Structure 1
C-alpha cells in the first residue's frame, strides 16, 4: 500500500458520497472486516450468539464472516420479483437477540434499503450492506452501499470496475474507519493518525509501528490495484450507463416472454447481470436451458448461491433456518443468470431470447 491506495480510497468515497473508504484485497475481505469491526468496536460489541438477519440467497462470503465470529445467522426468504431480502419477513424475524441486518443488493439491484434502514433505527439494529455486486446502483437519490453503517464493494475482475482483485468498505463513521484500517494490517497502530480513536500513540516509532491493539488480519491491497482503481472509478458513470442501456434491451426482449421471470428493478440498478427464473413450460428444466446456452457459447451461472441453506457447509454454521423458504427454493432450482457489460450487447440479448424460445418449444 502507498499513496495510490490512499488516493483511491478518498476518490472512491467521494464519488459515492461517503466520508471514509478503506481498501482491502477483495470484497470478501471487506465483509470480513466489516463484521470484525462490529465485534471490536465497544459501541456495538457484537458477541457470540447474537443474531444477524440475512437473505437466503447470496454469496458465501456474506455469511461466513458472521459465523466465524460466532454470530447466529437468521435466514429469511427473498422476494421473487427483486430477488432481494423480503422486508416483511425481516420484521417477523426480529427477536430480543437480534443485533444486525446484513442486507444484500443482488445482481446490481438495490434492496429496499430505505425501509430496512427505518427498521434498523426502530429496533436499534445495525444495518450493513453487501454491495459487492451493485456498485453504481442508486435508490432514492443515494448510492447503494451507503445506507448502512458500513457498505462493502468488490472490484474483482468480473465486476463493474476491476482492480483484478480488490474490495472497499465505505462508512461515515470515523472510529470505524480507523478500526478497519487497523484490522486490515495485523491490528497494529502503524497506519493510524497520531490523534486517533483506537489507541493512543506514544511518539516513539519503535512502539507505534509495532503495537498490536486489535485481532487483525493481513488483507492489504496492492499499490498497483489502487492506481488502477483510481482510473476505474472515473469511468463508473459511463460503465453504469452502458449496463443500464443493455438492461433496457434485455427487458424489451423478454417483456412478452412467459417462460421466464426477470428481475424487477428497484431504484436504479447497475445490472451486474440478467437473471431468469424459469417459468411455465421451462419450470424444472434448468439443466436443459443451461446446456442450450453453453452449446450456443453463452456463459451461464446459478443466481449467486441459490438457496444457500441447501449447501453442505451449513453443518458448520450456527443458524436459524425457516422450515420453508419457497422463493429461495425456486431460485435454487429454476434460477440462472447471464452476464452484462458496458458495451452494447443487443444482438447477443436477442440471441438469448431465441434460445429460450427454442427450448420452450422443444426444438
Structure 2
C-alpha cells in the first residue's frame, strides 16, 4: 500500500534480541522482561513496572488491582468516569468488575474527555476516573489529577495510544495511580504483543504481580509484602494462590525486543513530530477539516480528520478517493463506545449530552503516522481529500 496505517519499526537490533533469547533457551518471562520493566519505569520516573502480554491485559490487571486493595477497594456498583471515545478494553475491565460507567463527551478539537463536565459527572458513588489520551494527544491529565485528588478518587490513566507524549514537561503516563501502555505492532514501540502497567504504589505493584500470574505469590519480591504474610512451608509457598488472577505474562522475547525499541523511542517520536508539523501546515487552516488541536506535546500516533459536518461533505466519497489512491484509513480509535452493540451488557449512564463523540464517529477517520519521513504521503493525502471534498 502506498500509505499504510502502520509500518514496522524493527531493525537488526530487534532480531538480534530475539536470537539472544533463543540462544539462552529461556523463552518464558525472565531476566529480559525484568530488565525492560525496570528500564521502562525509569524512562518515566516511576518506581515499578509490570509487563504483560498486551495493553488490554494491562488495563485488566490495573482495574483489578484497585479492586483488591486492603483499604478503600473498588467494589461492584461503584462508578467510574470515562470518556465517550476510546478502545473497547478501556471499558471492558470496568464492566467485568461490576463497575458502572459515567460516560462523558469529548472535546471535538482534541478528542479527549471534556473536563468541564467532570463536576457534573461526579455522584456520591463515584470512586475513580479513567483518563485516556487519544492517539498521542495528551488529555488534560493535570486537571484530572487535581480533580481526583480533590474528590478522593482513584486515577487510572490509559496511555496505550500516547507513549512519549508530554504535558507541562511531564510524561503522559505518569499522572495516574496506575497507568497502562500498549506495545502492539502499530503503536509507538512494538514488542510483537505486549503491554505495561506503571505505578509508584508498592501495594498495587504486588497486586499487579500476583494478578499477572495465576494470582500466586511466587513472583513477588522477597521479604515482607503488603498483600500477604509468608509462611515457613516452602513446599506450599511455591504454589500459593491468594488472588483470582490470570495468566497474562509476556514472552521473554517481547521483553528483549522492548529494550531495543525503548532505546529508539526518542528518535521515533522526533520523526513523528516532524510529520505532524507537515500535516498541521496542510490541514490546519482548511475549514473543511477538523484536526486534533495539540495539547502539550503530542507523540502523534496518527492523524485524525473530521469532515466539518456544517459543510455537509460526503465521507463515503472521501473514503472512495482514499481507497483509489491506495491510502489506508480507519475509525478513530474505537469510535464512540455508545454506538457499539456491547453496551447492552454495560451498566452505564451518560453525563449530559454526548454530541462531539457522535460527530467524530460519524464524520471522522484517521490515517497513519510513521517514525520516518512521510511528508510526500501527507502531501498526497491532502491533494486527494482536497479533490474529494471540493465545495
- TM-score of the two chains, using structure 1 as the length reference: 0.97
Asked if 1:97 corresponds to 2:125, the answer is: yes
- Corresponding residue SS for 1:53: strand
Is 1:142 paired with 2:170? yes
1:263 to 264, 277, 292: 292
Aligned match of 1:7? 35
CA distance in 1, matches of 2:35, 2:117: 41
Distance verdict in 2 for CA 1:276–1:110, change over 3 Å: same
Matched, 1:178 2:185: no
| Structure 2 contact 309–363 (Cα < 8 Å) conserved | no
Q: Offset at 1:324?
A: 2.7
**Cα offset for 1:285?**
2.1
1:228 corresponds to 2:257: yes
Give the counterpart of 1:39 among 67, 74, 81. 67
Shift of 1:322: 4.3
Q: Quick one: which of 62, 77, 93 aligns to 2:90?
A: 62
Where 1:10 maps in the other structure, the secondary structure is helix
Match of 2:222 in 1: 194
- How far, CA to CA, are the matches of 1:295 and 1:204 in structure 2? 68
**Could you list the per-position Cα deviations for residues 272-301 of structure 1 after superposition, in whole angstroms to 9, with x for gaps in the alignment?**
000011016764522221221122111101
Alignment-derived partner of residue 219 in structure 1:
248
Which sections of structure 2, spanning at least 5 residues, go unmatched? 1-28
Instruction: Pick one of 312, 315, 324 that aligns with 2:341.
Output: 312
1:76 is aligned, of 99, 104, 124, to: 104
C-alpha change, 1:126 and 1:283, in structure 2 (3 Å) is farther
SS at match of 1:337: strand
Question: Structure 2 residue aligned with 1:252, among 281, 299, 315?
Answer: 281
In structure 1, the residue matched to 2:18 is none
Name the residue aligned to 1:125: 153
Q: Is the 8 A contact 2:120 2:351 kept in 1?
A: no
SS at match of 2:216: coil
- Contact (CA 8 Å) 2:110, 2:137: kept in 1 or not? yes
Give the deviation of 1:13 after TM superposition: 0.3
Q: Secondary structure at the match of 1:103?
A: strand
Provide the residue aligned with 1:241 in structure 2.
Answer: 270
Higher relative contact order (CA 8 A, sep 6+): 2
The question of whether the paired residues in 2 share the 8 Å contact of 1:156 and 1:162 is answered with: yes
Structure 1's consecutive aligned runs of 4 or more residues displaced over 3 angstroms after TM superposition are: 280-284
Q: CA deviation at 1:74?
A: 0.6
Distance 1:23 1:330, change over 3 A: same
Per-residue deviation, 1:77: 0.2
CA distance 1:300–1:264, shift in 2 (3 Å): same
The answer to which of 301-310 and 222-231 deviates more is 301-310
Listed one character per residue, the Cα deviations across residues 82-115 of structure 1 (whole Å, up to 9, x for unaligned) are 1100001122100000000001000001100001
Report the counterpart of residue 349 of structure 1 in structure 2. Answer: 378
Secondary structure of the equivalent of 1:235?
A: helix
- Residue range with higher mean Cα deviation, 305-314 or 183-192: 305-314
Q: 1:337 aligns with which of 366, 380, 385?
A: 366
Measure how far apart 1:30 and its partner are. Answer: 0.3
RMSD across aligned positions (CA): 1.2
Q: CA deviation at 1:44?
A: 3.1
- Partner in structure 1 of residue 52 of structure 2: 24
1:296 corresponding residue in structure 2: 325
